[in-house]
Structure 1
Amino acid sequence: MTQPQGALLVGSVNYDDAEKTMRTASAMLGGRLRRIPDGEVGKRFHWIMFQPDVLGQAEGIERVGDEPRWLRDLDARPLRIAEGADAAAIELPALGYADAAIDSYAIFRRLQDAGAIADGIRFQVSLPTPVAVISSFFAGDDRAAIEPVYTAALRRELDRILAEIPAADLAIQWDVASEMGIIERAAGYGRTMDAWWPGDPFDGLVDRLAALIDAVPSDVEVGVHLCYGDAGERHFIEPTDTATLVRFANAVMTASARDLTWLHLPVPIERDDEAYFAPLSGLTPVGELYLGVVHREDGVEGARRRIAAASAVLDGFGIATECGIGRAPVGTTEEILRTHADTASAW
């Protein structure tokens, strides 16, 4: 069995503050990490679910429904373009990603200067794609109308992050979940996209993601996390194998003008068979490949079974969970991190 080298923290971590996330990750995983996220703390605890509260402040956008849909303190009601509003003229407020990244980087820098985080480790910022937010909170023709507006707003967030955080310290990860649902035509994703993308959406999704990758300068690391969701620690659809992931990743890497620093692929908990991993033999080489073999429910033993199956196909890879662990049960975070430490070697 191949001994995996290196670990990736996909993004969210179930702690209340960024300093605890970064201190704990550094202490427990040390040289296995090349980058550390802030755990997506605060209002980002449930990925993009805070965006309706942000976008709903814009003139020309309104909430759908009279009663809030509370997710803790977030109102997750969907959005629509108000009747008579010109979508192209809508001015969106700051989305919150740049503010959070800049605040957390200050903590990262302080910890690194104090020796709590090793030199050479980068600060990882995870960002959603515009497709995720638009497909989740808008419907019908509003999706096409708001796409350039939201895409421009997210690019402004990225540009501010790039301006405020030194390139040598920064790594950007694009979180790509809704795209997999659209490609797989999963319930709630692909079957509701026809007004936005009539026909096969594959090429459009490839081009959009490649453009986001290319928006990250070459001296900043960039990674892609492909995902099948984790609502209630379950995928929105269980992939038959890695064939669709490989097809999409290969197309994106071909379409991108710059190299991808790392790629993360999910592994369902029940898939410790070689058949799931077999299509990875056709994956375009990437600087770092991470497989989501770590699962809370079966720890080191389960991770090693999945590593053994993947090792029959791949010569080398690092490990991760299949998605972030920000919504894992309280009190399980350290054990999940310990599984990373027990199954992967340092770089």
Structure 2
Amino acid sequence: MTEPNQPQGALLVGSVNYDDAETTMRAAAEILGPLLKRIPDGEPGKRFHWIMFQPDVLGQADGIERVGEHPIPLRMLDARPLRVADGVDPATIVFPSLGYADAAIESYAVFTRLRNEGVIASGTRFQVSLPTPLAVVGAFFPADQRAAIEPVYRRAMYRELDAILDAVPHDDLAIQWDNAVEFNIIENVERPGALPMSSWWGDDVWAGLTSRSIEQVERVPADVEVGFHLCYGDVAEKHFIEPTDAANLVRFANEVVDAASRRVDWIHLPVPIERDDDAYYAPLDDLRIGDTELYLGLVHREDGDEGAERRIAVARRHVDAFGVATECGIGRAPAGTTEGILRTHAEVAATW
């Protein structure tokens, strides 16, 4: 039996730096085994950099243009942003399949085969990570077009979700909503002198962000697990803004869990590598998420077991029980480091 304050289990946030879903799932099952309630496919191929493949998808739609004359290469992707063409009513735009459902259905077939072979333990769920619609719209469309194009993209994302729900048995499935752009907006609004990434829904930024997340929770049926990865970004293993402490993360988690009409099964909060001080973790004293699982993203490639254990020791002074994770996905980690990162999870977590 674990001690009351001992970390419990692990969460793989989403992306994993392997070339295919089978390698990810086999490695996760072998190294982490009973520490994992859920296994993702690692988001291989064009999904390696979170939402950066979406402009190539959305740019195929009639009425959408790429911004800039020349492609911005990102491995196999063109990272140029998007805009609604002049004279086009955004409501008439029809986005193609976004790619999330197709990838999930393909990877679930691998998951079930590995489970049938005994590689993946019975009872483990297949985890699918989806970006919030706000993230894609906020990242790739100009500010004056976001209000009109967001509902169009939201409908397209919900079609992807519905296709996943139709294809994967509900008792095998876990959906994770990835919230990152939301915290760019929150932090810039709250920091004096910061350049704001303005909201497009009015003055109450918090209400606009949390209401969207509550809707996303409630789009997932009660017999499917649902969770949140809260994030401050991961470009070259750096946040877009370094949080002062966990206060905004805690507030977001509390508001969403309190208002949702169904259970939120897990919440993941990032922990910057240099934060082993009580000031960062102190807001966790006010975390009110009931029996929702909490995962702290305090595993870092650069300092391994020693660094994670140091941060765990401080976190334990502020929260009773939690699992461990990285602060963001590890799909962009340096080649050859992935197994070590997974083994750090295993070393510093405890069985459920």
TM-score, normalized by length of structure 1? 0.97
Task: Tell me the residue number matched to 2:242.
Answer: 238
Aligned partner letter, 2:209:
L
The residue matched to 2:60 in structure 1 has which SS? coil
Q: 1:330 aligns with which of 325, 329, 335?
A: 335
Q: 1:51 aligns with which of 43, 54, 61?
A: 54
The residue matched to 1:309 in structure 2 has which SS? helix
On the 8 A contact 2:210/2:255 being kept in 1, the answer is yes
Task: Tell me the residue number matched to 1:83.
Answer: 86
**CA offsets 1:3-22 (integer angstroms, 9 cap, x no match):** 31100000000000000000
Q: 1:299 aligns with which of 304, 309, 312?
A: 304
Task: Tell me the residue number matched to 1:71.
Answer: 74
| CA drift at 1:253 | 1.4
Aligned partner letter, 2:261:
A
The residue matched to 2:325 in structure 1 has which SS? strand
| CA drift at 1:199 | 2.3
Distance 2:203 2:188 in 1: 12
1:267 aligns with 2:234: no
**CA offsets 1:109-165 (integer angstroms, 9 cap, x no match):** 000011000000000000000111001000122101101100000000000000000
Distance 1:286 1:251 in 2: 15
Q: 1:131 aligns with which of 131, 134, 148?
A: 134
| CA drift at 1:191 | 1.3
On the 8 A contact 1:88/1:149 being kept in 2, the answer is yes
Equivalent pairs, count: 345
The 5 A counterparts of 1:181-260 are: 181-185=184-188, 191-194=196-199, 196-260=200-264
On the 8 A contact 2:16/2:24 being kept in 1, the answer is yes
Distance 1:157 1:105 in 2: 15
Aligned partner letter, 1:61:
I
Task: Tell me the residue number matched to 1:278.
Answer: 282
Distance 1:310 1:42 in 2: 35
Aligned partner letter, 2:220:
V
On the 8 A contact 2:72/2:80 being kept in 1, the answer is yes
The residue matched to 2:236 in structure 1 has which SS? helix
Distance 1:197 1:94 in 2: 26
Task: Tell me the residue number matched to 2:41.
Answer: 38
Aligned partner letter, 2:62:
E
Task: Tell me the residue number matched to 2:149.
Answer: 146
Aligned partner letter, 1:299:
G
Task: Tell me the residue number matched to 1:9.
Answer: 12
Percent identity, aligned pairs only? 66
| CA drift at 1:254 | 2.0
On the 8 A contact 2:184/2:197 being kept in 1, the answer is no
| CA drift at 1:256 | 1.1
Distance 1:273 1:140 in 2: 37
Q: CA RMSD in A?
A: 1.3
The residue matched to 1:293 in structure 2 has which SS? strand
Range with greater deviation from structure 2 (249-258 or 29-38): 249-258
1:96 aligns with 2:99: yes
Distance 2:180 2:69 in 1: 29
Is the alpha carbon distance of 1:232 and 1:286 closer, same or farther for their aligned partners in structure 2, counting shifts above 3 Å?
A: farther
**CA offsets 1:267-310 (integer angstroms, 9 cap, x no match):** 00001112211111111124210001100000000000000000
Task: Tell me the residue number matched to 2:344.
Answer: 339
Distance 2:270 2:221 in 1: 26
Runs of 4+ in 1 over 2 A off after TM superposition: 197-200
**CA offsets 1:70-94 (integer angstroms, 9 cap, x no match):** 1011011010001111100101100
Distance 2:72 2:201 in 1: 28
The residue matched to 2:51 in structure 1 has which SS? coil
**CA offsets 1:214-272 (integer angstroms, 9 cap, x no match):** 10000000000000011010111111111111111111112211110000000000011
| CA drift at 1:345 | 1.3
On the 8 A contact 2:304/2:344 being kept in 1, the answer is yes
On the 8 A contact 1:4/1:344 being kept in 2, the answer is yes
Q: Structure 1: where are the runs of 5+ without partners?
A: none
On the 8 A contact 1:14/1:326 being kept in 2, the answer is yes
| CA drift at 1:190 | 6.5
On the 8 A contact 2:233/2:239 being kept in 1, the answer is yes
On the 8 A contact 1:293/1:303 being kept in 2, the answer is yes
Q: Structure 2: where are the runs of 5+ without partners?
A: none
